[in-house]
Structure 1
Amino acid sequence: MERRRFLGLAAATGAAAGAALTAGCGSDAGTQSSALKVVAADYGEPGQGDGSQGYWDALVRRFRHRHPGIAVEVEVHGWKDVDKRVAAMVAAGRPPDIAQIGAYADFAAQRRLYSAGEVLSIPVQADFLPALAEAGEVRRVQYGMPFVASTRLLFYNRTLFVKAGLDPDSPPRTWNQLARAAAKLKAAGVKIPYGLPLGAEEAPAEAMMWMLSGGGAFTDKVGNYTIDAAANIKTFNWLRDSLVGPKLTNPDPGGTDRRELFAAFTRGEVGMLNGHPTLLRETRRRGVKYGTAVPPGAEGPSGATLGVADWVMAFKENGRRQDVGRFLDFVFSEENHYDFADRYDLLPVTTSANDRMRERAGHKPLRRFQQELLSAEFYPVGKVSWAKVSGDIKRGIGKAVAADADPVKVLSALQRRAEAEDYAVRES
């Protein structure tokens, strides 16, 4: 997820090659050429011994027992490397059969992918949450199969709220209430009243959350970029003038990554910030008393919150449609999919696994995130130009809140580049 996991799994350790688990008939059974090749991302935290390779190895062993004629090899890479690894394999003419990475639209536009309907059984495809299935579409055909998801809520430190004379049971519901709460936190000596990560790691997510809370978005309902829309300009003017200017945030929002602020929140140094489910684990482990709420909006609680998903795609280069389909049906079965989401405190993308998680008392803190997932707004990942536009946003949108910045100029420049990228894609 762009987005990545607690303490920056964008910096996760490099490749961890998965051992091939093979079986089958014929002389080539068990060789690399006969095995389904899967490249997946690592969701474990560096140094914690919870890497994803173990999950995939156990999954493949169970699959082998059920389908002894299909060999599978899974190669796991950290988020820093996995997208580049798959792109290099495709460029070399040796794409994997299945990739589990952050974006799919480029490959779909190049007609390299099977559609979801070509590989998944009808019950499995129908089990995806509708909003996520729709987010996986390019020109109304689903090519991206959601793997796991997250939503965002406002996290706040209840202990610091009490210290500042704020009611810990009444988090801010509007922007002005948030600014007033931040000012009281600052007066009480809180190091970072509101954590605003607009550095490269989190810029698209934090920016989109604020845009949504102000009635804007990166695109309109028909998919046209609207980065410099009036609602978005108003939002960034407010951020600059009401939070950053009065020094109610971290000193340099445009140069601050999410992982820094997540770590500071678990140390009790941040009063409020937007966060996703994986922040829960470390916060609880450190004994931080926290609350969550729908992010504040301009006039009331935000009418929409951000949803983020990672994606599975099936390449058709090697012609393994049936074998790929059998494996993916197994991956997305209720038990196996729930097992992965449960392991990393992420949200399942299927109705059956979501229902199972909702029934587990131990996952009660995730229920609000699950509820938000049903109506969340997602990045425009179905736009082929989004990968490059997202990169521009990562590098540039944090400048809009600098003390001497003009949000109109910053957002308009991003809008022009986005329109140019979109035009280039259409003309190619």
Structure 2
Amino acid sequence: MGEAVQRRFTVLTAVVAALGMTATLSGCGGDSGTGDVTLKLVAADYGNSAANSSEKYWSGVAAGFEKEHPGIKIDVSVYSWKDVDRKVAEMVKAGKAPDIAQIGAYADYAKDGKLYSADQMLSIRTQANFLPTLTDAGKVDGTLYGLPFVASTRLLFYNEKLFGQAGLDAPETWDDIQKDATALKAKGVEYPFALPLGQEESQAETLMWLLSNSGGYVDDVGLYDIDSAQNIATFSWLRDNLVGKGLTGPVEPGKLDRAKAFEAFTNGDVGMLNGHPTLMEEAEAKGVKVGMVPLPGAEGPTKGSMGVADWMMGFKQNGNRKAIGDFFDYAYSDENVLAFADEYDLLPVTGSASAEMETDSKHAKLREFLAALPNSQLPPFGKTSWATVSEAIKTNIGDAVAPGGSPERVLGSIAAEATKAEGAE
């Protein structure tokens, strides 16, 4: 993967340089220039304490940018993930939109005409360097508005100590998961397979399982396909073969939030679950040796992982297009992209930074996640209906695997809500 990314980036850079096209597209136009401008930046906090707050990162980036761009100041505000999307929505509604936001969703603002498109802000070099999988997810009606900021993929994690004690090999199929979980339960493991389908993040857990049976939220042309036969079969299998056989632990999946499942894993009480890089680091810091494999599927390992991305965007309201573009070009340097990824054990969103991470031995543990990114599938972030649909999934999906639950009914209800929300776009 890394060689292909690096080769693509190298060739692209050479072509751009040869054509003399590295000047920013944002340099033309009639809006304000870059003198005596203060850009308001609102960002999410990825840290869990004052010591690793994202405010430290953004303050450093702002200071470096201001040094190189006299006359432009960056006013940084960082909020928790619980608050940041709401804060930005309130600012926009009050007519006081930030110039730059780093948050979880962009589509509503793009549809409302409030955002600059990427080619209105960024240099060609910066645009060309984003990983295509991520830019595809950042588009509305074929135009890139959501700039990928940081990414992650998912793998199946297993506790190597518990597996060794039970004499088990890493699972490759759903049948393997059931057999391994049965053996772990017999050994007294509290959560043989932790299945967090509570409200915290179950739209992601759901997508991982759908992909493992060649399903998903949308079909090949981007239309919602939530209650497909494949998706119903997936949740029927979970209900009958994991939950129904008592293999998912003492908390029913619909009431198990991801944070609680992850905490149980780091405490050594979980045999298997779907995890991300940050969990890997947290578990190993507590002495849990983590095995990782691609998500097992109905017939074999899943070919594509679930990907996740968060977004940057530039708001039009204050007319600071040129200054915003200059800041983005600075913020997306390899140095800055890798510094953030390093701090939070996440994946870079650019080809050049990905290639550098892959060849650096200190990132060896992230290589499996990095390798999964180009073929990953992301939720349909470009749909303004996605926020409504995501909430419907989080609220209801646990019922699909409950004793006596009906995956057909639950997925059908969510699909109906998706159709209604899609029609309102």
Report the 3-state secondary structure (helix = DSSP H, G, I; strand = E; otherwise coil) of the residue aligned with 1:199: coil
Q: Does 1:172 align with 2:171?
A: yes
The corresponding residue for 1:194 is 193
In structure 2, list runs of 5 or more residues that go unmatched.
Answer: 1-32
The corresponding residue for 1:240 is 239
Question: What CA distance in whole angstroms lies between the structure 1 residues aligned with 2:50 and 2:344?
Answer: 12
Report the 3-state secondary structure (helix = DSSP H, G, I; strand = E; otherwise coil) of the residue aligned with 1:342: helix
User: What RMSD in Å do the two structures reach over aligned CA positions?
Assistant: 1.2
The corresponding residue for 1:52 is 54
Paired amino acid for 1:202: E
The corresponding residue for 1:257 is 257
The corresponding residue for 1:67 is 69
Measure how far apart 1:303 and its partner are: 2.2
Measure how far apart 1:49 and its partner are: 1.7
Report the 3-state secondary structure (helix = DSSP H, G, I; strand = E; otherwise coil) of the residue aligned with 2:424: helix
The corresponding residue for 1:381 is 381
Q: Identify the match of residue 154 of structure 2 among 152, 155, 164.
A: 152
Q: Does 1:222 align with 2:224?
A: no
User: What TM-score, normalized to structure 1?
Assistant: 0.90
Q: Identify the match of residue 85 of structure 1 among 68, 87, 95.
A: 87
Paired amino acid for 1:105: A
Paired amino acid for 1:44: G
Question: What CA distance in whole angstroms lies between the structure 2 residues aligned with 1:280 and 1:408?
Answer: 34
The corresponding residue for 1:6 is none
Paired amino acid for 2:288: V
* Cα deviation 1:367-410 (Å, max 9, x = unaligned): 00000001000000011110111111111111100012111110
Question: What CA distance in whole angstroms lies between the structure 2 residues aligned with 1:56 and 1:302?
Answer: 37
The corresponding residue for 2:20 is none
Paired amino acid for 1:157: N
Question: What CA distance in whole angstroms lies between the structure 2 residues aligned with 1:58 and 1:313?
Answer: 20
* Cα deviation 1:307-332 (Å, max 9, x = unaligned): 00000011011100000000010110
Aligned length: 392
* Cα deviation 1:99-135 (Å, max 9, x = unaligned): 0000000000001100011101000010000110111
Q: Structure 1 73/402 Cα, relative in aligned 2: closer, same or farther at 3 Å?
A: same
Paired amino acid for 2:156: L
* Cα deviation 1:206-239 (Å, max 9, x = unaligned): 0000000011100111111111000000000000
The corresponding residue for 1:38 is 41
User: What TM-score, normalized to structure 2?
Assistant: 0.91
In structure 1, list runs of 5 or more residues that go unmatched.
Answer: 1-23
The corresponding residue for 1:17 is none
Q: Identify the match of residue 136 of structure 1 among 138, 141, 166.
A: 138
**Structural mapping, 1:316-355, within 5 Å:** 316-355=316-355
Paired amino acid for 2:52: D
* Cα deviation 1:320-351 (Å, max 9, x = unaligned): 00000000101101111111111111000001
Higher RCO (CA < 8 A, seq sep 6+): 2
Paired amino acid for 2:122: L
* Cα deviation 1:74-99 (Å, max 9, x = unaligned): 10000000000000000001100010
CA contact (8 A) 2:34 2:323 kept: no
* Identical residues among aligned pairs (%): 53
Report the 3-state secondary structure (helix = DSSP H, G, I; strand = E; otherwise coil) of the residue aligned with 2:72: coil
Q: Does 1:419 align with 2:422?
A: no
Q: Does 1:162 align with 2:161?
A: no
Q: Does 1:291 align with 2:281?
A: no
Q: Does 1:107 align with 2:109?
A: yes
CA contact (8 A) 2:280 2:290 kept: no
Question: What CA distance in whole angstroms lies between the structure 2 residues aligned with 1:48 and 1:62?
Answer: 21
CA contact (8 A) 2:34 2:322 kept: no
